[in-house]
Amino acid sequence: MDFYFGLAQLIGVHTLLGLSAYIVLLTGQVSLAQAGFFAVGAYAAGMLTVLAGWHLVPALGVSALSGAAVACAVGFPALRVKGLMLVIATLAFGEGVRLFFFNFDYQIAKGGIQVGPLGGEGFRQIRFFPENGWETGEVMLFIWVFVAAAMALLWWFDRSRYGTVLRAVGEDEIAAQSMGINLTAVKVSAMTVGGAIAGIGGGLYAHYTTHIEHASFSILLATFAIAYPIVGGLRSVFGTLLAVIFVQGFLVEGLRFLGDWRNLLFGALIVLAMNLRPSGILGRRRA
Amino acid sequence: MLELRTLSRHFGGVRAVDGLDLTVQEGQIFGLIGPNGSGKSTTVNVITGLFPPTSGAIVFRGQDIAGLPTHLRLREGIARTFQNIRLFGQLSVWQNLWVAQNSAQDLARQGFFARWLGGQRGVREEIGRLLEFSGLAHKRDELAANLAFGEQRRLELARAMAAKPKLLLLDEPAAGMNSEEIGQLRSRILKLRESGVTILLVEHVMELVMGVTDRIAVLNFGQKIAEGTPGEIQAHPAVRKAYLGGEAA
Amino acid sequence: MLDFFQTLSDGVLFGATYALIGIGFTLVFGVMHKINMAYAAASVGGAYAGLLVLKVMATAPPALVFFCAFLAGGLLGWMVYVACFHFIPLSSPLATLMSTVGMLLLIDEVIVHVTDGMPQGYPAMFDDVMLRAGEFSMRGDLLLVFGVSVLAMIGLLLLLYRTRLGLATRAVSQQPVAAQLCGIRLVRVNALTFIVTGLLGGLAGALIGASVGTLSPLLTVPLTVKGLIVTVIGGLGSVPGAIVAGLLVGGFENVLQLYRGVTERDLYVMLLLFVFLVFRPGGIFAARGGRD
């Protein structure tokens, strides 16, 4: 049973990551910075519970805030450029964050051992869950509370004028601007909300794996982040969830019996899926 | 209402608009005509802020708005339609109008949360009226991209109206329409004027321009070559020359 | 001070390979307005394929290995085109982006699978030659890398500006619709662009292998990032920009490696990119349409 709980934890965290890219994608921006926000949230929450002895819930609050703050700060300069330039700018930012944590040491002695992030070694012993006696199932439920909240928030956005404006900006920036929409405010706000969601996802990830290192937040993770909403389609938040289940549940876990060949199949399947359904599994309705 | 003072916009060496002076009075329907490439659309784009002017002033209701970003010009009361129809194709008809409700009145009326995160309830009636006016009420939930060409033109006009403009810039609204549709457009434009909207009409279709405008300016190579009532313009020798064939005629 | 110039010159020489990778990204962007994320991976793949020669003929000269990498790169470029671009409509930019990322992962995994993840030694030429001027020296193998890269760039520029194919390519990148009306077959130009950039990539991969001494699948992602950074700094779509930016990034990172160490080096390269994005988003030569 623990195996399935573990898988559900992973799916939950990746759904948060996918949703953070989803809201940015609605405005027509492809951001490969989401793994960076995720990393910021992971390190922030981990340091607060391990080094400062905080409870996880307020630490996650700080994860969300720091993810949002970094996203907002990145948003202003990065959104000056559009389209493919933005892809590259955010990709470089994500790599920058990873390299920052690769060089980041902050250790203190606690109970006779050194704890805290240690450069390339990573950040071990994030033991909030085991120390407080949480079972895998409880951790999974805890994670899914956040997933449900994030999905509800974005689902609500989609029904509000805000979500409609996001999609309008994604459709045609010139028309949106001419109809009185402040492009910068809208794009940066989407980026900020995405940063907050990714931050929470990162904080949860740090605690259920108990060990994070820079390599976990590579371009591969950033690619996963945008792959989920693209594969799932931008029509609704459920597409992203379905895509995460498909990728993590079916492709990664379900094909484990293929051993080495699974990794080969993974790339090939993405290529194939995009050839067959360029607008995603639950793609947009087309004219 | 709107005054352009020696307005210029150059693209490299091309003077798309070159020292244009223009005054549109409140309540007027002002026509802007000229051959292709004479700078009409550029003028509209400069007025709405998509291009900054190279030089000159844009005075709207006593205030120079040349430095104002595009989205704030709408709040001042300038809305437009596009020559090549730019709807939000994957949004429904009524969502297209919902998105456009950014006028100063709308901002004053609703609080931040109701405005951004509230549902459609508060605005349903107003959008309904606009759809009625444009004859699109039955297509309310259709995706804009799936509308017929004439319907898309109507929706674009309705979307501009949803922003409650004081000045409406129509960029070739009759392009591609048949004469029955032009008749409907004409009566809509006249109705809009009655409701107090000033209109700057950029158009090629003389049937429409001569029928509805109070005053017309003619552009050629970015410069104004004539201005007057429709009657005066039709009789103007420079206009005939510009339309009928450059220097040779 | 000597250290500084020594490091700078080594970096600039090696930067020629970044310039080649940057040209590959920028040409595809110019012609199709798409980014081929699989490009650097395909280049490394081409370099690996060159090693197959040594399996057949253990005594093959390095030049033959380079040439085979060059050809294999072209073949891989064409395969990437067919798998990721040919059948996906131009109106789905996200789909091509994702499919090329999928291709990147696939190429990476194939390399890992075939080599069991072990780094492979790569043959070099002139690695025992050293040009000296007092204390200052230039490594022969790096000079070769630089020289071959420059020749490849000259070849490319001749191709672009002196042949019908180049004319068609430039026409498509400026006015795709008008170019089609003039009887240029868009699909063919697109495919040929991928083959030509693939050839350059395979060569670049081999030269990188030769100057580093080994090839490893760990190269692909950093090389993708470097290539993209070079492309942006040079201005998307600008070939001369990519060349200058490649040399610039090569020199810059090597100097920072000297002063700040190898782990921090790339952090500063990212910062360099952000400086460009904020102050000169169009790139060094601010090519037309570079902001999109």
- Say yes or no to pLDDT of C175 above 90: no
Confidence tier at C291 by pLDDT (50, 70, 90): very low
| Of A40-49, A247-256, C28-37, C88-97, highest mean pLDDT | A40-49
- Provide the β-strand partners of residue B15: B10
As a whole number of angstroms, the distance between CA B5 and CA B64 comes to 10
Number of CB atoms found within 10 A of residue B173's CB: 26
- Say yes or no to pLDDT of C286 above 70: no
As a whole number of angstroms, the distance between CA A225 and CA A21 comes to 6
pLDDT at A281: 62
pLDDT at C184: 79
Which of these, A254, A238, A208, A222, lies nearest to A98 by C-alpha position?
A222
State whether residue C87 is helix, strand or coil. coil
Question: Which residue has tokens 């490439």?
Answer: B37
The beta strands (E) that lie in chain A are given as 108-110, 113-115
In chain A, what residues touch C219 (CB-CB under 8 Å)?
none
As a whole number of angstroms, the distance between CA A267 and CA C108 comes to 9
As a whole number of angstroms, the distance between CA B80 and CA B149 comes to 18
Q: What are phi and psi of A210, to 5 degrees?
A: 65, -5
As a whole number of angstroms, the distance between CA C155 and CA C162 comes to 10
Which of these, C282, C275, C285, C243, lies nearest to C25 by C-alpha position?
C243
As a whole number of angstroms, the distance between CA B222 and CA B55 comes to 13
Instruction: Tell me which of A179, A192, A193 to substitute to probe the interface with B (most B C-beta atoms closer than 10 Å).
Output: A179
User: Could you list the mean pLDDT of each consecutive 10-residue stretch along chain B, which spans 249 residues?
Assistant: 92 88 94 88 93 93 91 94 92 93 85 80 84 90 92 93 94 89 92 93 88 92 90 84 57
In chain B, what residues touch A164 (CB-CB under 8 Å)?
91, 95, 98-99
B176: left (phi over 0), alpha (psi -120 to 50) or beta: left
Q: Is B105 on the interface with A (CB under 8 A)?
A: no
pLDDT, one tens digit per residue, over A26-81 is 998 889 999 999 999 999 999 999 999 999 999 999 999 999 999 999 888 766 77
Confidence tier at C289 by pLDDT (50, 70, 90): very low
pLDDT at A286: 41
More confident residue, A279 or C114: C114
Written as one letter, the residue type at B22 is L
Averaged pLDDT of chain A: 89
Contact in structure between B152 and B144 (CB atoms under 8 Å): yes
Contact in structure between B66 and B52 (CB atoms under 8 Å): yes
Number of CB atoms found within 10 A of residue B141's CB: 9
Chains B and C lie in contact, requiring 3 or more CB pairs less than 8 Å apart: no
- Mean pLDDT for the stretch of residues C33-55: 90
- Say yes or no to pLDDT of A133 above 50: yes
- Say yes or no to pLDDT of A141 above 70: yes
pLDDT at B80: 95
Residue A75: which residues within 8 A CB-CB, separation 6 or more? A187, A188, A191, A192
As a whole number of angstroms, the distance between CA B141 and CA C12 comes to 60
- Say yes or no to pLDDT of A199 above 90: yes
Q: Does the model's pTM come out above 0.90?
A: no
Cα-trace Rg, chain A: 19
pLDDT at B200: 95
As a whole number of angstroms, the distance between CA B121 and CA B102 comes to 17
More confident residue, C57 or A100: A100
H-run or E-run covering B32? strand B29-33
As a whole number of angstroms, the distance between CA A37 and CA A45 comes to 12
Q: Which long-range contacts (CB under 8 A, 24 or more apart) does B19-26 make?
A: B19/B56, B19/B222, B19/B223, B20/B56, B20/B219, B20/B222, B20/B223, B20/B224, B21/B224, B22/B217, B22/B224, B22/B227, B24/B167, B24/B198, B24/B200, B25/B1, B25/B198, B26/B1, B26/B198
- Half-sphere exposure at residue B69, Cβ-oriented, CA atoms within 13 angstroms: 12
Write the residue in B71, B87, B117 that is nearest to A181 by C-beta. Answer: B71
Contact in structure between B205 and B185 (CB atoms under 8 Å): no
| Of A173-177, A247-251, B176-180, highest mean pLDDT | A173-177
Question: Which residue has tokens 């798309």?
Answer: B16
Written as one letter, the residue type at C284 is I
pLDDT at C101: 87
pLDDT at B244: 62
Buried/exposed B235-246: b ≥16 CB within 10 Å, e otherwise: ebeebeebeeee
Averaged pLDDT of chain C: 85
pLDDT, one tens digit per residue, over C101-132 is 889 989 988 998 888 878 888 887 777 777 77
* Alpha helix ranges (H) inside C163-290: 164-174, 176-181, 186-212, 220-234, 239-260, 262-279
- Say yes or no to pLDDT of A285 above 50: no
Cα-trace Rg, chain C: 19
- CB–CB of A264 and C110 under 8 A? yes
- Say yes or no to pLDDT of A258 above 70: yes
- Give ipTM to 2 decimals: 0.90
Contact in structure between A116 and A107 (CB atoms under 8 Å): yes
- Provide the β-strand partners of residue A105: A118
Residues 225-244 of C with CB under 8 A from A: 225, 228-229, 231-232, 236
- Say yes or no to pLDDT of C292 above 70: no
- Say yes or no to pLDDT of C213 above 90: no
- Provide the β-strand partners of residue B31: B201, B216
pLDDT at B188: 92
pLDDT at C287: 46
State the helix-helix crossing angle for C140-162 and C239-260, rounded to 10 degrees: 160
pLDDT, one tens digit per residue, over C125-166 is 777 777 777 777 778 788 888 888 888 888 888 888 888 888
Tokens of B184: 């409907």
Q: Is B51 on the interface with A (CB under 8 A)?
A: no
Tokens of A43: 């390190």
Q: Provide the pairing of β-strand B167-171 with B198-202.
A: parallel
Chains B and A lie in contact, requiring 3 or more CB pairs less than 8 Å apart: yes
Confidence tier at A271 by pLDDT (50, 70, 90): confident
State whether residue B189 is helix, strand or coil. helix
Tokens of B156: 């674009």
As a whole number of angstroms, the distance between CA B2 and CA B63 comes to 9
